[in-house]
Amino acid sequence: MKNLLKIELKKAFFSNSFLAGFGVLMLCAFCSALFAIENWGDYNPNYLYEYCMKDGSYTMNPDFPLYNLFSTWIGADTMSLAGTLFYYLMPVGAALPYAWSFHTERKSGYLKNIVSRAEKSGTSRQS
């Protein structure tokens, strides 16, 4: 049973369809990170304090509109296409490799081979 689990995990995580889906999702995450870093580079903190002060006193909390790289993670990114695509494609990227593997195993008859050799729960195997 341990060998079967090892084989199945290897097939799941090193198949071409899994690696392709993982690559597309990582590309979306990388593009979103580049977008956040590029926008953060254009940020001028002096403008924030000029915006929050009038006649030497604060008109609003200067830390309220805090903008840094930590607060612009991919989940808070609503402006870039890459961040939106990441969340729309994540279920497809997770389900497609499994569905493709299931289809090929069913078509080749591999599932019948595994089911006939695996133990059924609640019953013991007679030798």
CA 94 – CA 81 distance, rounded (Å): 20
pTM of the model: 0.60
pLDDT in 10s for each residue of the chain, 127 residues: 788 788 888 888 888 888 998 999 899 888 888 887 777 666 666 666 666 677 767 676 656 556 666 666 666 677 778 888 888 888 988 888 888 888 888 888 877 777 776 676 655 555 4
CA 40 – CA 26 distance, rounded (Å): 21
